[in-house]
Structure 1
Amino acid sequence: MSTLLDVEDLVVDYPVRGFHRYPVRALRGVSIDVRPGECLGIVGESGSGKTTLRRAVLGLAPVASGSIRLKGQDIVRLSRGGRRRLADKIQVVLRDSDRSLDPTLTVETALAEPLRAQRVPAAAAARRVRELLDQIGLPAGAGRRLPREFTGGQRQRLAVARAMALSPELIICDEPVAALDPSSQAAVLDLLVELQNTTGVAYVFISHDLALVRQASHRVAVMEHGEVVEQIGGDRVPGPRHGCPSRQFSTASVPEPTLRGCRPGPRGQDRCCPRARWRGPDRPMTPRPGSRRGGRPACRPRWS
């Protein structure tokens, strides 16, 4: 199968102001590929380079070296006009739907805006908008409403519909469900999978949650410190794989409280707070009732 998007040895350096300041290297030789009709998941901690990779593919980050090929065409050095002509091939869905929808425009106008930018006739644009609303499960009358009249999950579906307006071949989803509740997350993920099955669009699904990435992706690339450290098979089958660096992302991202400066002492007591009880290495210490100094708990919990 031919490759739709091919990123090879991509290096991105951000300049730093000041005298004798060296640039900050955000990506260090990243290489990925996306096939037509495939969903490639990219997972990693904050600061690992996921968003920088998205910006580089969209032409928004300074590429120092490497190549980004879309259907064999190198798009790194394209002009602004060349990038504009790629709008019907590459689209993006961001985490915040308010950045994709103008709050002063109706839904119908917002969805028709990319079509009118490509000089699509008004009648054809109106038909396409009604088709998009039907695909995302909203009635045709919803086009006359403003974005603030919808819920967060519905606004995110409208952002997906806006990205699908030009029938692109690749959509980059940068944490599209991170700001939604679990039920809305499942609805948006089901919509993305359904649109991929019906239209054959390819996705680059960026997230820090490995469970969501494995649910929606065929393959998963794990990023760390600006590099792709591992690529594993997703196959849209949930469940972690042991022995890989990505296992740390499969657990819940809820921190466990510990106590600042506390460590175990003799007879199960804490050295900095004699009344605190040591409950083992896997459970935080909790001060006993009445253990206070100056009206505050002797051992203050902190999030690590």
Structure 2
Amino acid sequence: MEADDMAEGSDPDSDLEPEAAFALIGQEMRFAILRALWDAGDKGLTFSELREAVGNPDAGNFNYHLRRLLGPFVVKHETDGSPTYELTVAAGYVMGSIESGGYHRTERVGPVGIDGTCPDCGGGIEAVYEDDLACVRCLECDVRMFDFPLPAGAVAAYDPPDLPDLLDRWVRTTVRRVRANICPVCSGRLSGHLTDEDSDHPAKDITARYTCQQCARTVNGTVSAWLVEHPAVVQFWMNHAVDPLEHPLWSEMWRTSTDVRRLETDPLRVGVQFTLDGETLELVVDETVQVAEVRRP
């Protein structure tokens, strides 16, 4: 039997409990195997190449640990009679999460002064990153205008002055995923609904809440926040020679041009209005946070 043929995997269709899955990669040799395959990229490695990449350990010991990873984390391909090993999609997510720095890296950036003023007191504003959160806050009253989690690896890849732009782009990317009903945490399916626990609250305080059917995490925001990337909204700004990408989401343009009005209470429906140069675009949003109607000027 050739060394390349020694490793045999478990049933790739069998499910593992999360605890068992992470226990598999908690062993030093197994993690070294995953790291070597991650570094190899899409080309994969043969048995001998993979063994060499992790320091040429005892063949039997190496084969045992590789065999334990087959199925949930490593896949074996037969290519021209020479087996190669690659990471599964699941293993790629695990290694990507590790590369993001969330488990072992601590970053602190800022404060970085940015253009704009606080809507509460008119003071200057700044961006800062600490404790895995990026925020835009007032220099005078310390109110947080914008607050969003960011992985340390994303922040470390940029110079400190780039933090505000990175935050804006990260949030817009998350908005697109959420609007597509894809959970930004686990990639499960999201379901959205409008909520206003106190019916006396003004319409602008109605929250759009998305809940993941897989991990049960929730993502909350104002109704208008989830519409900034809607095609009708983008086209409306462009028709007025305004590029919305040039205006960060905490900017005065978004604050002064956006309004929300309650249309119905049971079920909850709202109209989100965007106004520029005297013209108003309104998106009617139903109780599932879907755009039911676009009312153009």
TM tier, smaller: under 0.3
- State the TM-score, normalized to the length of structure 1: 0.26
